[in-house]
């Protein structure tokens, strides 16, 4: 039975995430040092003492979450748990690309630092006196119905198809306020704002996409040595050139997570480990396929439990 690592993305962060791995593993401590040098700030200090607000800023969060994702993968590898494939949710796709050998460890931290800075800049340009652009999860309404309602609202876009009953929208402050009112009127039980700082995976990020594609030209993208899956296409990435192009498209494209999960199961993966902070991806997989074995593996205790299986 092949195991696939799933890497969470922005919004999964929490204070002191990854510190138990840092304390237990010299290999993880080396990753922390490499990330600090590549990003130009002390990642251990922020992770060990930072508040939830400190960790939510996009220009820092993307480095920190990628670091904890890769730290979890390293801790699993130390215990002999090597994946047969990998996939990542939004930002998590960069940890997947690194694990698959498409980008190196040091370059991946520089890539996500640039990505975070450009996305933060593009988001702040959309701030208004009425509020900041944001993302929100629509719960308790079929995803197809939620998408249909949202499609007619100015400044609102489908960003993530997370599960059959959970859709995530990106939008301007005014647009999301209108969306919340209409969706609740249509029966949505909750409209939950996410722990992010911008309207990611939507056309509102077009300025960031163009600048990011230009920046990516300075990095090497190798062909995958391990199957790695794309949020944009929901299928495996065939080459380094395709991976580079998809990185740019991903900034403005919806995350097709339901399609990606389905493809992973179809391709023969029978076991999934969520390598990184939180348990969001485990919950989403169980919502779609409760028969599939998917477990969190971002904390030391969870990784030890995976080793003991």
- Do 249 and 105 lie in a common domain? yes
In angstroms, the CA 105 to CA 97 distance is: 10
> Where a domain ends, among 171, 193, 215?
193
Q: What's the rounded mean pLDDT across residues 90-108?
A: 98
For residues 187 and 141, is the Cβ–Cβ distance under 8 A? yes
pLDDT at 57: 84
Inform me whether the pLDDT recorded for 60 exceeds 80: yes
- Do 108 and 8 lie in a common domain? yes
- Do 150 and 229 lie in a common domain? no
153 contact partners, CB below 8 Å, separation of at least 6: 171, 175, 178, 179, 182
Question: Which residues are part of the catalytic machinery?
Answer: 90, 201
pLDDT at 279: 97
- Do 164 and 52 lie in a common domain? no
Q: Name the residue range of residue 178's domain.
A: 134-193
Query: pLDDT tens digits, residue range 272-300?
Result: 999 999 999 999 999 999 999 999 999 99
The answer to whether residue 129 sits within a structural domain is no
CB atoms within 10 A of CB 293: 15
* CATH for 187: 3.30.70.250
Read off the pLDDT band of 259 (50, 70, 90): very high
> Where a domain ends, among 172, 193, 214?
193
CB atoms within 10 A of CB 226: 16
302 contact partners, CB below 8 Å, separation of at least 6: 295, 296
- Do 23 and 72 lie in a common domain? yes
- Give the number of domains in the chain: 2
The answer to whether residue 44 sits within a structural domain is yes
- Do 207 and 175 lie in a common domain? no
> Where a domain ends, among 173, 193, 213?
193
């Amino acid at each position: 039975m092949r195991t696939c690592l799933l890497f969470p993305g922005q919004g999964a962060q929490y204070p002191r995430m990854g510190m138990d791995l840092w304390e237990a593993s010299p290999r993880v401590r080396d990753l922390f040092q490499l990330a600090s040098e590549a990003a130009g700030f002390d990642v251990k200090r922020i992770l060990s003492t930072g508040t939830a607000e400190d960790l939510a800023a996009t220009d820092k969060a993307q480095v920190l979450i990628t670091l904890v994702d890769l730290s979890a993968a390293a801790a699993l590898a130390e215990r002999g748990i090597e994946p047969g494939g990998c996939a990542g949710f939004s930002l998590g796709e960069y940890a997947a690309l690194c694990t698959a050998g498409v980008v190196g460890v040091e370059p991946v931290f520089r890539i996500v630092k640039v990505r975070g800075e450009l996305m933060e800049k593009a988001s702040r340009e959309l701030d208004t006196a009425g509020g900041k652009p944001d993302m929100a999860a629509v719960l308790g309404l079929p995803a197809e119905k939620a998408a249909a309602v949202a499609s007619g609202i100015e400044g609102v876009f489908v960003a993530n198809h997370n599960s059959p009953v959970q859709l995530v929208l990106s939008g301007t402050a005014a647009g999301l306020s209108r969306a919340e009112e209409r969706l609740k009127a249509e029966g949505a039980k909750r409209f939950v704002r996410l722990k992010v700082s911008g309207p990611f995976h939507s056309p509102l990020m077009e300025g960031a996409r163009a600048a990011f594609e230009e920046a990516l030209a300075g990095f090497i993208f190798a062909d995958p040595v391990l199957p790695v899956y794309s949020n944009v296409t929901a299928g495996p990435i065939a080459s380094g050139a395709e991976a580079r192009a998809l990185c740019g498209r991903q900034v403005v494209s919806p995350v097709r997570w339901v399609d990606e999960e389905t493809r992973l199961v179809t391709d023969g993966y029978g076991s999934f480990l969520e390598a990184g902070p939180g348990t969001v991806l485990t919950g989403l997989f169980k919502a779609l396929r409760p028969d599939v074995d998917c477990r969190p593996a971002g904390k030391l205790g969870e990784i030890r439990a995976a080793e003991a299986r």
